[in-house]
Structure 1
Amino acid sequence: MTVLLDRPVAPVANASPKAKASPKARDPFIDLLRVAGMALIVFQHWTIPVLSYDGVRLTTGNALATPGVWVVTWLSQVMPLVFFAGGAANAISFGRSAQGAPRWLAARLRRLAWPLLPLAAVWIPLPHVLLTFGVPEQPLEVGARLTGQLLWFLAVYLIAILATPYALRLHERHGFLVPAALATGAVVTDVARFSTGFEAVGFLNVVFVWLAVHQLGFFYAEGRLRRPWALAAGGFGAAALLVAFGPYPGSMIGLPGAEISNMAPPTLAMLAVGAGQVGLAVLLRPWLMRLLRLRTEQRSPVRARPFDTEREPGAESGSLRDQRSPVRVRPLDAGRLLEWAGSRIMTVYLWHMPALFVVTGLVVVLLRIDTPAPGSAFWWAGWPLWFGLLCLVMWPLIKVFARFETPPALPYGAAGWGGMLAAATLVGGGVLTLTVGGFAPGGGPFLAVLALMGGLLMTAPRARA
Structure 2
Amino acid sequence: MTTTLRPRARGGTPVLPAPPSGSPALPVPGRRPGPGHASPSRPGRDRFLDVLRLLVMVLVVLQHWWFPVLGDGPRGLSTDSVLSVPGASAMTWVSQVMPLIFFVGGAANLISRRSASSGGVAPTTWVARRLRRLAWPVVPLAAVWLAATHLLALGGVPEQPVAVAAGAAGIVLWFLAVYVLVVVATPVLLPLQDRFGWRVAAGLFAGAAAVDLTRFATGVDGFGYANVVFVWLGVHQLGLLYGAGALRPRRAGALAAGGAVAVTALMLTGQYSPNMTGVFAMEASNAGPPTLVLAALGAVQVGAAVLLRRWITAWADRPGPARVLDGVCPKLMTVYLWHMLPVSLVAGVQVYVFGVDTPEPLTAAWLGWGLAGTAALLPLTAALACLTARFETPPAPLRGAPGTLRALAAAALVGGGLGVLVAAGLGTGWTPVLGMGAVVAGLLFTRGAHGVRAVDFPRPWHVVWPGTVRAR
Decide: shared fold, TM above 0.5. Answer: yes
SS for the counterpart of 2:397 is: coil
Q: Which residue of 1 aligns with 2:309?
A: 285
Q: Which residue of 2 aligns with 1:123?
A: 145
For residue 140 of structure 1, the aligned residue among 162, 172, 181 is 162
Larger deviation, residues 185-194 vs 240-249: 240-249
Supply the distance in 2 between the matched residues of 1:165 and 1:197 (Cα, whole angstroms): 35
C-alpha displacement of 1:135 = 1.6
Q: Which residue of 1 aligns with 2:7?
A: none
C-alpha displacement of 1:257 = 4.2
Q: Which residue of 2 aligns with 1:28?
A: 47
Larger deviation, residues 281-290 vs 409-418: 409-418
TM-score between the two structures when normalised by the length of structure 1: 0.84
1:65 corresponds to 2:64 = no
For residue 83 of structure 1, the aligned residue among 102, 111, 119 is 102
Q: Which residue of 2 aligns with 1:102?
A: 124
For residue 350 of structure 2, the aligned residue among 332, 343, 363 is 363
TM-score between the two structures when normalised by the length of structure 2: 0.83
Contact 2:132 2:446 in 1 (8 A): yes
1:426 corresponds to 2:413 = yes
Call closer, same or farther: CA 1:405–1:59 in 2, change over 3 Å. Answer: same
SS for the counterpart of 1:111 is: helix
1:261 corresponds to 2:299 = no
Contact 2:263 2:296 in 1 (8 A): yes
C-alpha displacement of 1:342 = 1.8
Contact 1:127 1:140 in 2 (8 A): yes
Supply the distance in 1 between the matched residues of 2:336 and 2:357 (Cα, whole angstroms): 25
C-alpha displacement of 1:430 = 1.1
Call closer, same or farther: CA 1:386–1:230 in 2, change over 3 Å. Answer: same
Q: Which residue of 2 aligns with 1:400?
A: 387
Contact 1:205 1:266 in 2 (8 A): yes
Residues 101-141 of structure 1: CA deviation (Å, up to 9, x unaligned): 12211211111111111111111121221123232111111
Call closer, same or farther: CA 1:175–1:378 in 2, change over 3 Å. Answer: same
C-alpha displacement of 1:230 = 1.6
Residues 202-228 of structure 1: CA deviation (Å, up to 9, x unaligned): 100000000000000011112211221
Supply the distance in 2 between the matched residues of 1:267 and 1:346 (Cα, whole angstroms): 26
SS for the counterpart of 2:339 is: helix
For residue 374 of structure 1, the aligned residue among 357, 361, 364 is 361
Call closer, same or farther: CA 1:256–1:113 in 2, change over 3 Å. Answer: closer
1:42 corresponds to 2:61 = yes
Contact 1:103 1:460 in 2 (8 A): no
Runs of 4+ in 1 over 4 A off after TM superposition: 18-24
Residues 370-390 of structure 1: CA deviation (Å, up to 9, x unaligned): 011122121222222211222
- The alignment's C-alpha RMSD in Å is 2.0
- Greater Rg over alpha carbons, structure: 1
C-alpha displacement of 1:341 = 1.7
Instruction: Report how many residues are paired.
Output: 410
Give 5+ residue unaligned stretches, structure 2: 1-23, 449-472
Larger deviation, residues 117-126 vs 157-166: 117-126
Contact 1:51 1:58 in 2 (8 A): yes
Supply the distance in 1 between the matched residues of 2:370 and 2:282 (Cα, whole angstroms): 25
Contact 2:65 2:370 in 1 (8 A): no
Supply the distance in 2 between the matched residues of 1:411 and 1:386 (Cα, whole angstroms): 39
Contact 2:274 2:285 in 1 (8 A): no
C-alpha displacement of 1:237 = 2.1
| Percent identity of paired positions between Structure 1 and Structure 2 | 46
Larger deviation, residues 100-109 vs 87-96: 100-109
SS for the counterpart of 2:362 is: coil
Q: Which residue of 1 aligns with 2:263?
A: 239
Supply the distance in 2 between the matched residues of 1:72 and 1:415 (Cα, whole angstroms): 45
Supply the distance in 1 between the matched residues of 2:176 and 2:398 (Cα, whole angstroms): 26
